[in-house]
Amino acid sequence: MKIICIGRNYAKHAKEMNADLPQSPLFFMKPDVAILRPGTPFYYPNFSKDIHFECELVIKIDRVGKNISEKFAHKYYSEIGLGIDFTARDLQQKCKEKGHPWEIAKSFEGSAPLSKYFIPKEDLELDNIDFYLTKNKEKVQIGNSADMIFTFDQLISYISQFMTLKKGDLIFTGTPEGVGPIAIGDELKGYIGEQEMFTVNVK
Ligand code: ZN
């Protein structure tokens, strides 16, 4: 399986990063070992001093497809989950300055905590999904899929022009504003609506 992550899919997050709005989706990838299974702690890595959380809705692909049209994209997923795209902001800044690839900042082991649950899309209004992240019980990010620049279906259609999507692939759909640092001892909890989707303890 592969993990595809979308960058700058919320206008206010692009603004807080001083980045332009994309004309087409920006994506990058994480390896399968980036997945942090539910209930597993995240160990703060030695290579960074500035790991940030980015809470994101996650599409689980459940059918093989290539060159999928936007119109039919909805047939390629049936559940939505929630995850975090952990980012080593200090390394990312260096990569950006040097024009280097982002992998060391984005694709490290455990950098993609994933919810235990996925919600059937019939139970959601796809263009109006509320979600939020708490850090030590304080709400730090609040998002709604209505604010995405590119919809789930547009993302699937775009990505599938470049690579075949397969069953089990995950698409992290971008983060709303409010990203920030984590520290050892923090407890992060993600919610869709009021349903708790994951807890991540930072050790
Ligand atoms: Zn992200």
- Residue 177: closest CA among 6, 21, 8, 27: 8
Q: Which residues are CB-contacts of 140 (< 8 A; sequence separation ≥ 6)?
A: 53, 133, 134, 178, 180
Rounded Cα distance, 52 and 181, in Å = 4
Ligand 1 centroid to Cα of residue 198, in Å, is 17
Ligand 1 centroid to Cα of residue 6, in Å, is 6
Low-confidence ranges of the chain (pLDDT < 50): none
The per-residue pLDDT for 29 is: 98
Ligand 1 centroid to Cα of residue 112, in Å, is 10
Ligand 1 centroid to Cα of residue 83, in Å, is 10
Question: What is the value of pTM for the model shown?
Answer: 0.97
Helices (H), strands (E): how many in the chain?
Answer: 4, 15
The per-residue pLDDT for 14 is: 84
Ligand 1 centroid to Cα of residue 69, in Å, is 24
Instruction: Please check whether residue 55 is in contact with residue 143, taking contact to mean a CB–CB distance below 8 angstroms.
Output: yes
Rounded Cα distance, 50 and 171, in Å = 24
The per-residue pLDDT for 17 is: 87
The count of C-alpha atoms lying within 13 angstroms of the C-alpha of 192, restricted to the half-sphere facing its C-beta, is 26
Instruction: Please check whether residue 192 is in contact with residue 131, taking contact to mean a CB–CB distance below 8 angstroms.
Output: yes
Ligand 1 centroid to Cα of residue 184, in Å, is 21
Instruction: Please check whether residue 21 is in contact with residue 8, taking contact to mean a CB–CB distance below 8 angstroms.
Output: yes
Instruction: Count the Cβ atoms, other than its own, within 10 Å of residue 64.
Output: 12
Ligand 1 centroid to Cα of residue 5, in Å, is 6
Ligand 1 centroid to Cα of residue 3, in Å, is 12
Ligand 1 centroid to Cα of residue 63, in Å, is 24
Chain centroid to CA 160: how far? 18
Rounded Cα distance, 199 and 49, in Å = 22
Amino acid making up residue 169 = D
The per-residue pLDDT for 98 is: 96
Ligand 1 centroid to Cα of residue 88, in Å, is 11
The per-residue pLDDT for 136 is: 98
The per-residue pLDDT for 3 is: 98
Ligand 1 centroid to Cα of residue 55, in Å, is 7
